[in-house]
Structures are given as C-alpha cells and as structure tokens.
C-alpha cells in the first residue's frame, strides 16, 4: 500500500529537478508561424507564458484558466496585433491590463464571466479596431470603458445582459465605428432619446444588429432622420402585431440595407399578417432582404409596392405562390429569390433589372418567358426546372446577357434535342446571346447531339458544362465560335474520346477541366495550339500517353492534375513515366499518383518508378531469351544427333573391349540376296572366317532397331561394310545408317568403313548424295564384278581390308600375311 506513495515521493522531486534544468523544453505553445503566431489554446495555463518571443504578433490564449488580468499583463509582447482570450474564466481585469499594446487591433474576450472591469481596463490601446466582448456579463454600454478607443470599427457585445438600447454619448467619440452587434441581449424598448447620439455621428456607415432581442416597442419617430448602413431585425418579435407597430416605429429611417426575418431555428411569429410590413412605406430603403417567415402571405406581396425605389430585393425561404404584380417602373436592379416555394414561375417585367438570381427554389417545373431588357446576370441554377424554350433573347427579353447560369436543373430541353426527330428544328439555342461571357449548363442532363449548339456565343469566356453527356462519348468540334474562351469545364461528361479538331478554335483557352471522364490516354487531347495554364485530367482511366505526342504538350501549363488514373507502371511506358518525373513540379499532388497496373505495382507511387528497373529487366529478358534459345538449340541438336551421342556414350563403354563381330553390314533389303548368297558365304565360311553382324540374324528381338544398330552393329563390330547400290541410295534408312557409321568412324579410332559398290550406280543418282559421292570419289572402294577374275580380286581385297586390325588368331595367320602385300589402293 505504501509503494505508490513512495514512488511518487521519489519521482516528483526528480521531475521538478528536470523541469528546472530545461525550462524551455516545457514550452507548450504551438508555433504556427515562428516568432509571429503562437497558439496556446487549452493548455491549463494560469499565467501568461513568459517564454514566448517578444516579436509575437498573434497570440491565442483561449480556454486557459487565467482568471485575472493584472496591469501590464502583456508588456513583454509589445508587437501583438491579435489577442484571443476567449473563455479564460477571467473575472477581473485591472487598469492598464493591455497597456503597451500599441499595435493591438483585435481583442477577443468572448465567454469570460467578467465581474470587475476597471475604468482603465482598455487604456493604452491606440490601434484597437475590433473588440469582441460576447457573453461577458455586460449589463450596459454606458459603463463599458471604451470611450477613448477612437480607432474602434467593430464592437461586438452580443449575448450579454444589456437591456437598454441607449447608445452612450461617447459614441460620438468613435468616429470609425461601423459595426455594432447588440444581438441576443435583453432590449425590449427603443425610445427616441436612445438614438440621440446618432444624430451627431457622420453616420450612414453604422451597421446595427438587434436580432434576437425581445423587442416590444419602438417609439414612433425614434429613427426619424437617422441614417444607417444596415439594420438587422431577425427573430425579434413575438407576433405579427408587435412587428407591425415596431416597423411603423422605424418610420423616417434612411437605410442602405434592411434585413428582416427569422432564423430558421428561431421562429416565433405564428400567424404572419401581411399588414406587419405596411410600415416599410415610410422608410427609405436601398436594399431589402427578408428571410424565413412561416405562413408568409404568398398571395399578397403588397408590401413590395412600398419599395419601388429600392435597388436590391432579396427574398429567401418564403412561400411565394407567384410574383407578377410589380409595375414596370420599379427601380429594382438586383432581384434575388432563393430557397422559396413558388407555384408558378414569376412573371417579370422589370425595366431596370440587371441581375436576377433565382436559385434553389422549389415547386415550379417550367421556365416561362421573362421580359428584362437590361438583364446582364441571370442565375437560374438548382431549381429542377425544365426549359422548354430556351435560351434566346426572346425568352429573356434581353440581348445584354453576360452571365447565364442554368446549372443543376432537370433538363434543358434545348431545341437541338429534337434534331434527331425533326431536322428543321436544328437551332443554335444561344445564337442571339452574342454578349454572353459566362455560361453554366452543368448538370442539366443535356445530351449534346447537335454540333452547332454553341454557335453565336462569340464573346463567351467561361463555359461550364460538367455533368452532361455527348453522343457516342465523343467530344466533337462544337466550340467553333468560342474563340474568346478562357475556361472550359467538361468534367463528368462520360467522355471517352476527343475529336482532333475539338479545341482547334480555342486559342485563348487557359483552364481545361476534363476530370471524371473515361479518357484512356493523356494524348487523346489535341494539344496543338493550346496555350493552357491549368489542365485537370484527374479521375479518368489514363494508362499512359504516347511519348511522341507529349512533345506538343503546352509549355505554359503550371498546374496539371493526373490523380486517380489507371497508370500502368511498365517499361513499355517508360517515356511517359519519365515525362511525369520531369514534370513533377507542375503536377498537383504528384506524390499521390499511384500505379494501377501491373498488379505487383498497384498502389505504388508513380514517381517511384525507376528507369533502372527497365534496363535491368531488359538484361534479364535478353539473358533469359538467350538461355531459352541455347536450350532449345541444344534440345534440337540432341534430338537430331541422339544416335550419334549414343554412339559416343557407347565408345567409352565398348571402346576398349573385344569386338564380337568383324564387320557390321549396312545394306538395302533389296540387296539381301547378294548379302546372303555371296557376302556371308564367302566371308563367314572362308579361311580365316569373319564374323559378320547382320540385322536379320544378329539383332536382338524386342530392342528398337536404332538401338540394335548402334549397340549390336556399331559397338560390337570392328568394321562396317556399306553395300552401296541404287536401292541403298534411295533408302532413307540406309542413308541414316550410313550417316551414323560415319560418326562412328570419326569417334572410334580403329574403325573403318569399307564401301562395296554393288552395281554401277548412275553418277547422277550418286550426286544426289553429295557426301557419299564425295567419299566414294576420294576413297578406296570395292567394286563387285561378275567375272571370275573380278570376283577373285574382290574377295582378296575385301578380306585384306577386314583383316586390318583383326586380333591375331592361329587359323588366320598365314592367309593374313600372304594377303598383306596384295593390298591395293585404287583411286
Ligand atoms: C526569431 O527571433 C529570434 C530573436 O529575435 C531570432 O534569433 C530568430 O532568428 C527568429 N527566428 C525566425 C525564424 O525568424
Ligand atoms: C517578461 O519577461 C520576463 C522574462 O523574459 C519575465 O521575468 C517577466 O515576468 C515578464 N513580464 C510579464 C509581465 O510577464
Ligand atoms: C391582420 O391584422 C389586422 C390588424 O392589424 C387585422 O385586421 C387582420 O384581421 C389580420 N389578418 C389576419 C389574417 O390575421
Ligand atoms: C407614415 O408616416 C406617417 C406620419 O409620419 C403616418 O401618418 C402614416 O400612417 C405612416 N404610414 C404607414 C404606412 O405607416
Ligand atoms: C441571394 O440571397 C441570398 C440570401 O440573402 C444570399 O446568401 C446570396 O448571396 C444572394 N445572392 C446574390 C447573387 O446576391
Ligand atoms: C452557377 O450555379 C451553381 C449552382 O448554384 C454554382 O455552383 C456556380 O458557382 C454558379 N456560377 C456562378 C458564377 O455563380
Ligand atoms: C474540375 O472539376 C471537378 C468536378 O467536376 C472539380 O472537383 C475540380 O476542382 C475541377 N478542377 C479544377 C482545376 O477546377
Ligand atoms: C496551329 O496554329 C498554326 C498557326 O498559328 C496553324 O497554321 C495551324 O493550322 C494550327 N493548328 C491547328 C491544329 O489548329
Ligand atoms: C505562354 O505564356 C507567355 C506569357 O506568360 C506568353 O507570352 C506565351 O505566348 C504563352 N505561350 C503560348 C504557347 O501560349
Ligand atoms: C531514363 O531514360 C531516359 C531516356 O529514356 C533518360 O533520358 C533519363 O535520363 C533516364 N533517367 C534516369 C533517372 O535514369
């Protein structure tokens, strides 16, 4: 039980010692930018760290239990510009706490339960522009000691306990104040006197946020003759009735932007009554925004009649039924209708309208013509609309259009779609929009069939058409007129091929997005004459590119994205892979480019592919090819000279031993009679008798003929007698035997071949057997003659030849000697 305590008793002093030894190693703050930005968030610091560089400009000390800020707390950091003290449990801030922070421009005190704020707490901050004191128990602006902060631009005191809207007199000393956020406080009433100070301000630039205050009452005339830049009143009113009186109370206000409405999750008015907005008629409003009112009276937008002089109207998240009541004379220039629910497309005829944003609305399915002669910017995206007739100047009533956004709609049933049905309806839908600079038809389920779809867009600079499709997955030359185009987005168009002329006219193209298509090779893109800077080919199926084509790759490209393709890291594409290595500086996320094939290389970074591998495998390939070649040649040779090898093997075996036969006779079966009747009779029965090897008699049955020839015939015989005849020459078998005999003669030193020419063989026939012919013409041979004398000589010569090398035997000595001098050699 005592162990842990003892251990701790030993360890703690040791740790304390270590920490004394190297204090800087305990430096806990994160150095975001060395010497400039440090992040010390949530480090359980009880005091301001003193080991940070004095040059620090941004310091985040949030979520530390500092609790108390004494004077000159930050004197060591005179360069500070941004100081975040959010949720530091600070309860007390003493005089001169920030003294010396000459450059501090942003001070954040959010979420500190301040009890005691000394009158000089914020002294010595000559550059402070933004003070955020959200959720700081602040009860009144009057006592907030900021009167000397002349440079203050933004004061955020939201989420406090302020219950009076009385703007203190010292505001007149804050000539730069632009934003005052008083939202989420306890203000209920606004009286005339509260705004007295605003009359003295050079105003019209103050933005005031009063959202989420439980407003009950605004004294009529309180805002009379007051100018504001912006006033936000969202989720302020309990009921339509209260809202009505309060808005009436705003009468006389001249304002640049009025924002009304509720927050999506903070809706309080149950039965909205159109009369609530009547009071707007007594205001001068430049820009009017209203958002998120449940049960908005969509059928009667009469309040908008109060705003004929406004330039900007924005309606968001409302139920609007339809819009069609505006007189042409309204001065509206910007109309923004988003996230609303309509029953019909608004019928608009606004002479001054320049910009119409109609986006993410619901409930309507078809676009209907509008008449907006000065319209330049039209955003019709995200409505799920079908555009039945689109998009000529007649449909918009304008020829001024510069931006047209039709993206994310159901289908743009541009007339060209029907071109397959009716040839006459081929129509360049944008033909009249010759001033258009920007066109977005992304994700409109459009299938491009008609090649002249973009004709007439001679000014177009940006074309986005992602998420559509093309006939046959081929990008044809549809950009002929778009000579001014600088940016083209063709991503997610299921493209497999690109026509060689497709980009021929796009001499100014700088950004080309071909990502998420099905391209197989980088050189499918016709690069010639393109002066691209950015090319995105990610998420395709690119395996490689022809190294030859890559020399046309635009030299001005500074960003190339090839991620998520099917690169084949094989030597075949060595040039391409080398090209990738050489261009890694322009590749986006080059290190994330992975090989897909071969299987062994899957998931390996393309950049790690080395040339050397190829050279090595080249050697390996050539070596293996060579060895295969050698082996097969050897096999062929072995096969061809199998018998010769057997002979060779046999030579060793039998070479030294006694020969069983004097001669092995090779002959054609046609000559067998002669062999039996003449040769065998004369040699075997004569004196001395010679033992002949004859296949019909001496070969061992059951053994292959070839094996017999070699083992019985050649190996066991001293000599070979070749009976040459017409039949012999014509028999392949005989010639084969003869061939082996030759090898045998070559191998076996004492061996000899005796040729007997049986009949006069025609020279011509003999000549076919070149080898034999040559042999016969060069060597001794015996010629069989039918005359008595001839036979005698024949036998004598044959016996003599056979006796040569025959081991001495008692019976044959005499004959052998006598015959020796008669040996003849003829040539
Ligand atoms: C940070 O400041 C110290 C002292 O002023 C200086 O020695 C050091 O070089 C600076 N480091 C950087 C990265 O500027
Ligand atoms: C300023 O830094 C010095 C050491 O660098 C330290 O002794 C002193 O306490 C610091 N002053 C404050 C107010 O933190
Ligand atoms: C709207 O308020 C007016 C009075 O301000 C009232 O006469 C009218 O009945 C109300 N309409 C609805 C629909 O509540
Ligand atoms: C506009 O203000 C005048 C007095 O300034 C008032 O008589 C009139 O009723 C107000 N109109 C609306 C619609 O509040
Ligand atoms: C349209 O209004 C919405 C909501 O007020 C706003 O977020 C959006 O920026 C506006 N769009 C334009 C183009 O003014
Ligand atoms: C066109 O509309 C889409 C969808 O609202 C948007 O993503 C795109 O940025 C728009 N283009 C411009 C230039 O506003
Ligand atoms: C290309 O389009 C894809 C999506 O279609 C997008 O994620 C990507 O950022 C675009 N690339 C560039 C360079 O704009
Ligand atoms: C590229 O431009 C040259 C002249 O600048 C022109 O002769 C050639 O036809 C063009 N090539 C293509 C494919 O457009
Ligand atoms: C590449 O850019 C330079 C200027 O950045 C330009 O002068 C040159 O014409 C461009 N090259 C091509 C092929 O467009
Ligand atoms: C790879 O081979 C190419 C020629 O195909 C050569 O120019 C390049 O220097 C080689 N690179 C390396 C790293 O060996």
Q: Is the CB of 24 under 6 A from ligand 2?
A: no
Residues 609 and 665 placed together within one structural domain of the fold: no
Of all protein residues, whose CA lies closest to atom 9 belonging to ligand 9? 531
Of all protein residues, whose CA lies closest to atom 5 belonging to ligand 8? 529
∠ CA 386-388-390, nearest 5°, is: 105
Distance 404 CA to ligand 6 centre (A): 10
3-state per-residue secondary structure call for 628-639: HHHHHHHHHHHH
Q: Is the CB of 615 under 6 A from ligand 10?
A: no
545 close to 576: Cβ distance less than 8 angstroms: yes
Q: How far is CA 135 from the centre of its chain?
A: 47
Q: What is the pTM of this model?
A: 0.69
Task: Flag whether 8 is in a domain.
Answer: no
3-state per-residue secondary structure call for 244-305: HHHHHHCCCCEEEEEEEECECCECCCCCCCHHHHHHHHHCEEEEEEEECCCCCCCCCCHHHH
Task: Flag whether 490 is in a domain.
Answer: no
State the total domains in the chain.
2
Residues 668 and 555 placed together within one structural domain of the fold: no
Q: Is the CB of 486 under 6 A from ligand 9?
A: no
Residues 674 and 786 placed together within one structural domain of the fold: yes
Task: Flag whether 568 is in a domain.
Answer: yes
Task: Flag whether 473 is in a domain.
Answer: no
Strands 37-39 and 30-33: antiparallel
Residues 607 and 680 placed together within one structural domain of the fold: no
- Distance in angstroms (rounded) separating the CA atoms of residues 823 and 796: 8
> Which ligand 9 atom is at minimum distance from the Cα of 554?
13
Task: Flag whether 727 is in a domain.
Answer: yes
390, 383, 375, 373: which is closest to 344 by C-alpha?
A: 383
pLDDT of the residue at 817 = 41
Distance 114 CA to ligand 2 centre (A): 25
Torsion of CA 291, 248, 141, 187, to 10 degrees: -70
Of all protein residues, whose CA lies closest to atom 2 belonging to ligand 9? 556
Distance 520 CA to ligand 10 centre (A): 24
750, 790, 747, 754: which is closest to 775 by C-alpha?
A: 754
Of all protein residues, whose CA lies closest to atom 13 belonging to ligand 7? 536
- CATH number for position 714: 3.40.50.10140
504: burial class by Cβ within 10 Å (0-12, 13-18, 19+)? middle
> Which ligand 5 atom is at minimum distance from the Cα of 357?
13
Residue 256 tokens read as 């640049």
Alpha-carbon separation of residue 214 from 44, 239, 275 (angstroms): 38, 11, 20
Ligand sitting nearest the alpha carbon of 509 = 9
473: burial class by Cβ within 10 Å (0-12, 13-18, 19+)? middle
Residues 701 and 794 placed together within one structural domain of the fold: yes
Residue 106 CB partners (closer than 8 Å, separation 6+): 81, 82, 83, 128, 129, 130, 132
Task: Flag whether 411 is in a domain.
Answer: no
Domain boundary residue, one of 594, 614, 634: 614
Residues with beta carbon inside 6 Å of ligand 8?
A: 504, 528-529
Of all protein residues, whose CA lies closest to atom 14 belonging to ligand 3? 273
Q: How far is CA 559 from the centre of its chain?
A: 13
Ligand sitting nearest the alpha carbon of 381 = 6
Residue 584 CB partners (closer than 8 Å, separation 6+): 590, 607
Q: Which residue shows structure tokens 């034999």? A: 772
pLDDT of the residue at 10 = 56
State the helix-helix crossing angle for 574-582 and 611-640, rounded to 10 degrees. 170
Of all protein residues, whose CA lies closest to atom 13 belonging to ligand 10? 611
Q: Is the CB of 281 under 6 A from ligand 4?
A: yes
Q: Which of 40, 72, 76 to mutate to test the pocket of ligand 2 (most atoms within 8 A of CB)?
A: 76
Residue 205 tokens read as 């630039």
Task: Flag whether 144 is in a domain.
Answer: no
Residue 37 tokens read as 């930005």
Count CA atoms within 13 Å of residue 579 on its CB side: 20
- Distance in angstroms (rounded) separating the CA atoms of residues 157 and 144: 10
Residue 412 tokens read as 């743009």
pLDDT of the residue at 813 = 42
754 close to 721: Cβ distance less than 8 angstroms: yes
Residues 608 and 691 placed together within one structural domain of the fold: no
Distance 272 CA to ligand 3 centre (A): 9
Residues with beta carbon inside 6 Å of ligand 7?
A: 466, 491-492, 513, 515-516, 534, 536
pLDDT of the residue at 81 = 96
Count CA atoms within 13 Å of residue 575 on its CB side: 8
- CATH number for position 570: 3.80.10.10
Q: Is the CB of 55 under 6 A from ligand 1?
A: yes
Q: Which of 405, 406, 462 to mutate to test the pocket of ligand 6 (most atoms within 8 A of CB)?
A: 405
Task: Flag whether 778 is in a domain.
Answer: yes
Residues 607 and 735 placed together within one structural domain of the fold: no
543, 516, 537, 541: which is closest to 525 by C-alpha?
A: 537
Q: Which domain holds residue 595?
A: 519-614
Distance 599 CA to ligand 10 centre (A): 24
Residues 601 and 717 placed together within one structural domain of the fold: no
Question: Which backbone phi and psi does 245 adopt, to 5 degrees?
Answer: -70, -40
Ligand sitting nearest the alpha carbon of 614 = 10
Ligand sitting nearest the alpha carbon of 576 = 10
> Which ligand 8 atom is at minimum distance from the Cα of 529?
1
Distance 525 CA to ligand 9 centre (A): 19
Of all protein residues, whose CA lies closest to atom 12 belonging to ligand 9? 531
Residue 52 tokens read as 């940070």
Residues 604 and 720 placed together within one structural domain of the fold: no
Q: Is the CB of 477 under 6 A from ligand 10?
A: no
Element (H, E) at 132: strand 130-132
Domain boundary residue, one of 598, 614, 630: 614
Residues 663 and 796 placed together within one structural domain of the fold: yes
Distance 282 CA to ligand 4 centre (A): 6
3-state class (DSSP) for residue 597? strand
Of all protein residues, whose CA lies closest to atom 11 belonging to ligand 5? 336
570 close to 600: Cβ distance less than 8 angstroms: no
Residues 680 and 759 placed together within one structural domain of the fold: yes
Give the mean pLDDT per block of 10 residues along the chain (827 residues): 53 47 56 92 89 92 94 93 96 94 96 94 94 95 92 96 93 91 95 88 83 94 91 92 92 93 80 82 93 72 82 89 69 92 84 92 84 91 77 80 87 46 49 87 84 87 92 90 94 93 91 95 85 93 85 90 91 87 91 88 86 72 85 83 68 60 85 85 82 82 77 79 83 78 72 78 72 72 80 83 69 42 38
3-state helix, strand, coil in the chain (%, to 5): 30, 20, 50
Residues 605 and 668 placed together within one structural domain of the fold: no
Distance 54 CA to ligand 1 centre (A): 10
């Amino acid at each position: 039980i005592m162990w842990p305590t003892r251990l701790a008793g030993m360890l703690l002093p040791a740790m304390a010692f270590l920490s004394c030894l190297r204090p800087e190693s305990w430096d806990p703050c994160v150095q975001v930018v060395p010497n400039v930005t440090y992040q010390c968030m949530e480090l359980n610091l009880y005091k301001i760290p003193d080991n940070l560089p004095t040059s620090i400009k941004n310091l985040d000390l949030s979520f530390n239990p500092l609790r108390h800020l004494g004077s000159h707390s930050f004197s060591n950091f005179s360069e500070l510009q941004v100081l975040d003290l959010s949720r530091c449990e600070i309860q007390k801030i003493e005089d001169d706490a920030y003294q010396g922070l000459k450059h501090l421009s942003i001070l954040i005190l959010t979420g500190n339960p301040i009890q005691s704020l000394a009158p000089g707490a914020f002294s010595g901050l000559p550059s402070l522009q933004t003070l955020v004191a959200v959720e700081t128990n602040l009860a009144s602006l009057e006592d907030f000691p900021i009167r000397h902060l002349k440079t203050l631009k933004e004061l955020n005191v939201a989420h406090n306990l302020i219950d009076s809207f009385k703007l203190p007199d010292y505001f007149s000393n804050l000539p730069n104040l632009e934003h005052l956020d008083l939202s989420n406080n306890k203000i209920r009433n606004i009286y005339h006197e509260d705004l007295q100070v605003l009359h003295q301000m050079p105003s019209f630039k103050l933005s005031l946020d009063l959202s989420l205050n439980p407003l009950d009452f605004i004294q009529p005339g309180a805002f009379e003759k007051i100018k504001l830049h912006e006033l936000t009143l969202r989720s302020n009113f309990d009921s339509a009735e209260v809202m009505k009186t309060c808005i009436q109370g705003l009468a006389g206000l001249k304002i640049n932007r009025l924002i009304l409405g509720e927050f999506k999750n903070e809706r309080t008015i149950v039965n909205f009554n159109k009369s609530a907005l009547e009071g707007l008629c007594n205001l001068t409003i430049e820009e009017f925004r209203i958002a998120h009112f449940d049960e908005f009276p969509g059928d009667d937008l009469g309040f908008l009649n109060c705003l004929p002089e406004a330039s900007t109207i924005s309606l968001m998240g409302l139920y609007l039924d339809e819009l069609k009541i505006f007189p042409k004379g309204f001065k509206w220039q910007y109309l923004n209708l988003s996230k609303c629910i309509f029953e019909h497309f608004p019928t608009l005829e606004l002479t001054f309208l320049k910009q119409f944003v109609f986006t993410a609305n619901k409930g309507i399915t078809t676009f209907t013509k509008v008449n907006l002669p000065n319209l330049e910017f039209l955003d019709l995206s995200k409505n799920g609309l079908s555009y039945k007739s689109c998009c000529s100047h007649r449909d918009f009533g304008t020829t001024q259009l510069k931006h047209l956004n039709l993206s994310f709609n159901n289908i743009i049933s541009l007339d060209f779609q029907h071109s397959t049905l009716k040839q006459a309806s081929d129509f360049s839908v944008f033909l009249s929009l010759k001033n258009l600079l920007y066109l977005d038809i992304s994700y409109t389920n459009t299938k491009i069939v008609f090649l002249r779809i973009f004709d007439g867009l001679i000014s177009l600079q940006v074309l986005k058409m992602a998420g559509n499709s093309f006939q046959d997955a081929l990008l044809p030359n549809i950009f002929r007129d778009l000579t001014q185009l600088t940016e083209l987005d063709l991503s997610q168009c299921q493209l497999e091929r690109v026509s060689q002329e497709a980009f021929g006219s796009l001499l100014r193209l700088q950004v080309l997005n071909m990502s998420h298509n099905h391209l197989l090779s980088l050189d499918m893109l016709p690069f010639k004459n393109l002066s691209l800077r950015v090319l995105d080919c990610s998420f395709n199926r690119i395996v490689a590119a022809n190294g030859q084509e890559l020399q046309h790759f635009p030299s001005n490209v500074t960003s190339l994205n090839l991620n998520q393709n099917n690169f084949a890291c094989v030597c075949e594409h060595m040039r391409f892979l080398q090209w990738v290595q050489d261009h890694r500086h322009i590749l986006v996320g080059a290190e994330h480019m992975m090989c897909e094939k071969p299987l062994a290389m899957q998931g390996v970074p393309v950049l790690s592919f080395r040339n050397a591998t190829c050279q090595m495998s080249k050697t390996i390939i050539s070596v293996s090819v060579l060895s295969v070649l050698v082996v097969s040649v050897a096999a062929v040779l072995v096969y061809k000279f199998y018998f010769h090898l057997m002979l060779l093997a046999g030579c060793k075996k039998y070479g030294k031993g006694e020969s069983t036969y004097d001669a092995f006779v090779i002959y054609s079966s046609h000559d067998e009679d002669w062999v039996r009747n003449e040769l065998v009779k004369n040699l075997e029965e004569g004196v001395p008798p010679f033992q002949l090897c004859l296949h019909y008699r001496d070969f061992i049955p059951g053994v292959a003929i070839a094996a017999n020839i070699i083992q019985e015939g050649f190996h066991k015989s001293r000599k070979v007698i070749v009976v040459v005849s017409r039949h012999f020459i014509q028999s392949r078998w005989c010639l084969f035997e003869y061939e082996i005999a030759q090898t045998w003669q070559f191998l076996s030193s004492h061996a000899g071949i005796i040729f007997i020419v049986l009949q006069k063989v025609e020279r011509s026939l003999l000549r076919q057997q070149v080898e034999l012919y040559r042999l016969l013409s060069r060597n001794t041979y015996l010629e069989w003659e039918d005359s008595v004398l001839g036979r005698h000589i024949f036998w004598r010569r044959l016996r003599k030849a056979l006796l040569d090398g025959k081991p001495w035997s008692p019976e044959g000595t005499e004959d052998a000697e006598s015959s020796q001098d008669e040996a003849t050699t003829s040539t």
